[in-house]
Structure 1
Amino acid sequence: QTLEKLEKNVRDGKFYEAQQMYKTIFARYMASKKHTEALDLLQSGASIQLRHGQVTCGVELGLLLVEGMTTIKLAYGPEALDRIKAVFKEFPRSPTLEAQYSTKTLIEGVSTFMKAAIRWSSEFGAPSRGSPELHELLADFLARESPQPDLAKAFYHYVRGNNPSAFASAIISGMLEPEEGDLLLARGVFLYLSMGNLRDANKLFDELHSQLKDSSQASVLASPLTHLAKFILLTLERDALPLFRMLRENYKSSLDRDPSLNELLDVVAEKFYNVQQRKNGLFGDLMKVYSSLTPRRKKKSIL
């Protein structure tokens, strides 16, 4: 009955009034240890506010939901994950002219909510980097909905997910400049390797090759940088540091097209061959690399 009354307020356009009631009742439920009721309330409230285009209200309730899950130390698992996914799927997509929110508000809202959920997942049972499934959902949203290229944010989450095929599709969608297609391919492969993930780096390369070979962008596969990416993958299968170094030297002119590629390979050398040659440490260097992925030219859509 309480949920029905609150939902009616939202349907009637009384968004602020409903929002305050959701927060008040949530606090009351938590104080009474009615944890399931509290989470049900916020999941429902965030979802219906988002369904009605109230992104700011929906995000606020979504963050309270994650806070509640954290407070009660809710374990990461299918049931808890379904709560997050239920809210996420209600976020509107590309705004219409009548929308009461901007694209910037939408992207920031989704990112804020999902990053909070990823943090919760990393603390209560998911892998240390957070739920791969949540990373994938956020990466796909950023890739499809951002009005301008934001490769750093999308790539960051794709390489923390478990879906190289989706990552490959996003990379190919981003090949708006033919001469830069091989850069996107190499960045994707090297980012996986910088995480120590040779398996998914190989899967990504194979998927890109499969999708590109019969397409209008097949010329990307003939690029020296694409060849280098393949040779690097083969080299890392064995203890071959001298060959790794030789490849970097032989393909220096290709790598110099994008400073982030050499920085990534420095991280790869440390991950796979324990080569200590940088002062900032792995985390500092990776953050520097991600910040350098923003394209030099504005384009109409991300990836």
Structure 2
Amino acid sequence: MTASIIGPNTITRVRRTLNHAIRDENYYMAHQLYKSLYSRFVSLNDKDSAIRTLHEGIDYLLSKHQNNTATDLSQVFAKCLSAQRFIPSDDIFDYVKDIFKKFGPSLSTERESMLNIVIQWTIEFCPEFPHGHPSLHKNIGYVYWSESNYSSAQYHYLRSSDGLGFAAMLVELHRTRGFKHEVDLFIAQVVLQGLCVRNKIIAQSTFQSYTKLHPAINDEPPFILPLLNFLCFLLKILDSGKLKTYIVLCEQYQSSLIRDPSYTEYLDKIGQLFFNVKAIERRPRHSQHGFLGNLLSSLLSDCDHEGEPSPSSSRPMNVEPLD
């Protein structure tokens, strides 16, 4: 059917039939008519009405517990974003957020399937965001937070640019599920993971917001907790790319870094991404070098190969001013 044949009268007739199906609670017919109405708007090149119709249909079918037909429309919705050449925007991200939230945790597989398609669409149109658009991840992170699914929320916030929201979630998570002495561990993991996914913005902004929002951290740098000082210094030296300074920093705060075994892999990755360090040689956990020993040995080796002086382990180097 050509666009010249499809006009306002056709749209009106389909809408009238749809309203009758809704009145009669004929959910199968309503599902088919929503798809038909969407196709007609596409033929008229009215993409905004097309996407709004799909959102309306998903919302209606979910409200009537018609999960299978709602899932089908959500797949049409997700795939049409690329097929119809939609440009990523906050309006569409709001639609995705609303649909994702209304599916709820009980339909996690269905909504994740839709989300994966949407993320790939944002990567297609915004290749500068290889993990997906930050605003989309912000919206999904917030939904997971509202469901108290902190693990999934953290995954998406790490790929967003909403440091303030991420920090507020972390403060809530620590105060409700963490121990008092772990206040610095919660933010350390996030900063290091953020850097490992090349999201320096989220690492920096979340650290700054967390240290201001958390009631147990009521001071400015230098902090009472050594691990917080390590993170503060680390974030300041990233742009310098100076391997010597990175080595000294890891050496000086080694006693704080051994509190979490996962930090070694994070620091190894950060060294590769920001300081041109080769991946460290993996050795058994009982290696005589001890915790972080392999990492520091690798850093020192790379430093020697680059012709930079190797800092003495018995006499620490002076770190250059970081201000």
Structure-1 residue corresponding to 2:83: 71
Question: Following superposition of structure 1 onto structure 2, how do residues 45-60 of structure 1 map, counting pairs within 5 Å?
Answer: 45-52=57-64, 54-60=66-72
Contact 1:51 1:92 in 2 (8 A): no
Shift of 1:201: 2.3
Question: Following superposition of structure 1 onto structure 2, how do residues 1-303 of structure 1 map, counting pairs within 5 Å?
Answer: 1=12, 2-6=14-18, 9-10=21-22, 13-23=25-35, 26=38, 36=47, 38-52=50-64, 54-72=66-84, 74-78=85-89, 81-92=90-101, 103-105=105-107, 107-125=108-126, 127-129=128-130, 130-146=132-148, 148-149=149-150, 151=151, 153-175=152-174, 176-178=177-179, 179-212=181-214, 215-216=215-216, 222-277=224-279
Contact 1:143 1:170 in 2 (8 A): yes
Contact 1:3 1:41 in 2 (8 A): no
Shift of 1:14: 3.5
Code of the residue aligned with 1:45 in structure 2: it is G
Shift of 1:279: 8.2
Contact 1:111 1:138 in 2 (8 A): no
Contact 1:224 1:254 in 2 (8 A): yes
Code of the residue aligned with 1:171 in structure 2: it is L
Shift of 1:51: 4.4
Contact 1:29 1:35 in 2 (8 A): yes
Structure 2 CA distance for partners of 1:278 and 1:50, relative to 1, 3 Å: farther
Structure 2 CA distance for partners of 1:92 and 1:4, relative to 1, 3 Å: farther
- For residues 209 and 67 of structure 2, the distance between their equivalents in structure 1, rounded to whole angstroms, comes to 35
In structure 1, stretches of 5+ residues that fail to align are: 94-100, 281-303
Shift of 1:4: 5.0
Structure 2 CA distance for partners of 1:29 and 1:50, relative to 1, 3 Å: same
Which structure's relative contact order is higher, taking Cα pairs within 8 Å and 6+ residues apart? 1
Structure 2 CA distance for partners of 1:104 and 1:224, relative to 1, 3 Å: farther
Shift of 1:157: 1.7
Shift of 1:27: 6.0
Structure 2 CA distance for partners of 1:124 and 1:198, relative to 1, 3 Å: closer
Contact 2:41 2:50 in 1 (8 A): yes
- For residues 202 and 138 of structure 2, the distance between their equivalents in structure 1, rounded to whole angstroms, comes to 14
- The residue matched to 1:60 in structure 2 has which SS? helix
Residue deviations 1:51-88 (CA, integer Å, cap 9, x gap): 4454554333122112122223x14143xx52442353
TM-score, normalising length from structure 2?
0.68
Structure 2 CA distance for partners of 1:115 and 1:181, relative to 1, 3 Å: farther
Larger mean CA deviation between 261-270 and 191-200 belongs to: 191-200
Give the superposed CA RMSD: 3.3
How many residues are treated as equivalent by the alignment? 262
- For residues 9 and 181 of structure 1, the distance between their equivalents in structure 2, rounded to whole angstroms, comes to 55
Shift of 1:29: 7.0
Contact 2:62 2:70 in 1 (8 A): yes
- For residues 262 and 8 of structure 1, the distance between their equivalents in structure 2, rounded to whole angstroms, comes to 63
Structure 2 CA distance for partners of 1:33 and 1:232, relative to 1, 3 Å: same
- The residue matched to 1:196 in structure 2 has which SS? coil
- The residue matched to 2:94 in structure 1 has which SS? helix
In structure 2, stretches of 5+ residues that fail to align are: 1-11, 283-323
Contact 1:114 1:134 in 2 (8 A): no
Code of the residue aligned with 1:230 in structure 2: it is C
Structure 2 CA distance for partners of 1:259 and 1:77, relative to 1, 3 Å: same
Contact 2:188 2:228 in 1 (8 A): yes
- For residues 174 and 132 of structure 1, the distance between their equivalents in structure 2, rounded to whole angstroms, comes to 22
- For residues 271 and 122 of structure 1, the distance between their equivalents in structure 2, rounded to whole angstroms, comes to 21
- For residues 208 and 108 of structure 1, the distance between their equivalents in structure 2, rounded to whole angstroms, comes to 32
Structure 2 CA distance for partners of 1:88 and 1:187, relative to 1, 3 Å: same
Contact 2:269 2:279 in 1 (8 A): no
Code of the residue aligned with 1:65 in structure 2: it is F
Identical-pair percentage: 26
Contact 2:161 2:201 in 1 (8 A): no
Find the structure with the greater CA-based Rg: 2
Code of the residue aligned with 1:246 in structure 2: it is V
Structure-1 residue corresponding to 2:302: none
- For residues 103 and 40 of structure 1, the distance between their equivalents in structure 2, rounded to whole angstroms, comes to 24
Code of the residue aligned with 2:124 in structure 1: it is E
Shift of 1:142: 1.3
